Amino acid sequence: MEMKKQHIFIVLFVFAAIFSGCNKTDFNPISSDKLMGDSLASTTTIANLLKIYSTKVDLYSDTLNKNAGLFTTKLIPNDTTDMVIHGVITSSDVEGNIYKYIIIQEQGTNSQAIKMSIDAGSLSGLWPVGQKVSVKLNGLYLGNYAQSPQIGTHFVNLDKFKVDTLHKVNIYRIEPGRIPLPIALKAIHAYGLPNANLIKADTLTIAQILSSGMSYANKLVCIKNAFFTGNGADYGLPFKLSNPADLIFAPSTNGIGYPQSREIQDGTGSIFVATSEYSKFATYKLPPSNNRGNITTIVGWYNDKDLSLVSGKIYYQLTLRSISDLGKGFESYHADINK
């Protein structure tokens, strides 16, 4: 008898679940754009932000008029209108070649991108590729690090200074520092579901990148018919790698940690891909020069010397987010390294 009662209860429970599951809800489903919060109202663009808050005041850099603009910061004050930008995350630190920063790129034509330096690792767990974000910038700083613009804090680098012999004081390098994670979490508002297709890489030749000035800084681009030459870099110029052990993306720097440069060409010019020795693909062999195809990369810039004093160097640095950024044309290379 007890067994019969149990069967009746189970049947009633199943019918109740079926009918309740078919009942019409009395509320509208949540839009996918609302699943991760609301966006803030955009009040400015990255281009306008750079126009208002960029500064060239740079007492540290080796220049006569103190306005090289290589290392700078300027406060985006709290007592003004909210400064809010919108964009999509294009960076990924999953493979270790990007560390403690994210890249936010605007959607649409004539869009720009900006680097945001954050004092935390595994940032792709919070803001993955394709995540839409609004960023309230008030209270943060816009500055240049080696002439490349980024959002961060006001940081006095006590390890980098020169002596003002006239006034007998040290002049320390002022640069954008990493934003503490709690502050970054308050500033960055993620919304909607991540969609890596929201930003399509601009297709450019190397010649177009080299002639663009800073307009493509931090943007995602695709270079077609590109290949690795087997050259590294020596003071910003191509240098033949004669040691077979160096024909990898990033040999060890014995803990110093600077990125290793490897030259690529596409028939229109020469530029460098920079890789960290801590990336997952640092020790992968370079693709042979007969592997030619699409390379998707984030455009970077590094110039820590006054341009008026140095000429003939290439200051662009391209960053691969992962080895899979070597696309169509590199199929045989991927098959080889995955054996």
pLDDT band at 38 (very low <50, low <70, confident <90, very high): low
Which of 198, 227, 254 is the C-terminal boundary of a domain?
198
Question: By CB neighbour count within 10 A (0-12 exposed, 13-18 middle, 19+ buried), where does 79 fall?
Answer: exposed
User: Among the three residues 166, 198, 230, which one is the final residue of a domain in this structure?
Assistant: 198
**CB within 8 Å of 121: residues ≥ 6 apart:** 93, 99, 100
Query: Is 23 domain-assigned?
Result: no
Tell me: do 79 and 208 sit in the same domain. no
Domain of 318, in residue numbers? 202-337
Write down the pTM of the prediction.
0.87
Strands 270-275 and 260-265: antiparallel
Same domain, 41 and 186: yes
> For residue 222, what are the contacts with CB-CB under 8 A and spacing of at least 6?
201, 202, 203, 204, 294, 295, 296, 297, 327
In terms of domains, do 209 and 190 share one? Answer: no
**288 and 309 both lie in a single domain:** yes
CB burial string 223-240: b at 16+ within 10 A, e below: bbebbbebbbbeebebee
Domain boundary among 198, 233, 264: 198
pLDDT in tens, 262-296: 999 999 999 999 999 999 999 999 999 999 999 99
Same domain for 149 and 209, yes or no, is: no
- Whether residue 1 is contained in a domain is answered as no
Q: What is the mean pLDDT of the chain?
A: 88
Read off the tokens for 238: 């191509």
183 falls within a domain: yes
pLDDT band at 122 (very low <50, low <70, confident <90, very high): very high
Give the count of domains, the chain.
2
> 255 falls in which pLDDT band (50, 70, 90)?
confident
Note whether 258 and 152 are same-domain residues: no
- Find how far residue 41's CA is from the centre of its chain: 23
In a domain, 4, yes or no: no
Is the domain of 192 the same as that of 236?
Answer: no
Task: Say yes or no: 47 and 193 in one domain.
Answer: yes
273 assigned to some structural domain: yes
- Residue, of 272 and 257, whose pLDDT is higher: 272
Residue type, 29: P
67: tokens are 């306005």
**65 vs 265, more confident:** 265
Asked if residue 235 and residue 154 are part of one domain, the reply reads: no
Residue 36: its pLDDT value, please?
Answer: 59
- Domain co-membership, 170 together with 215: no
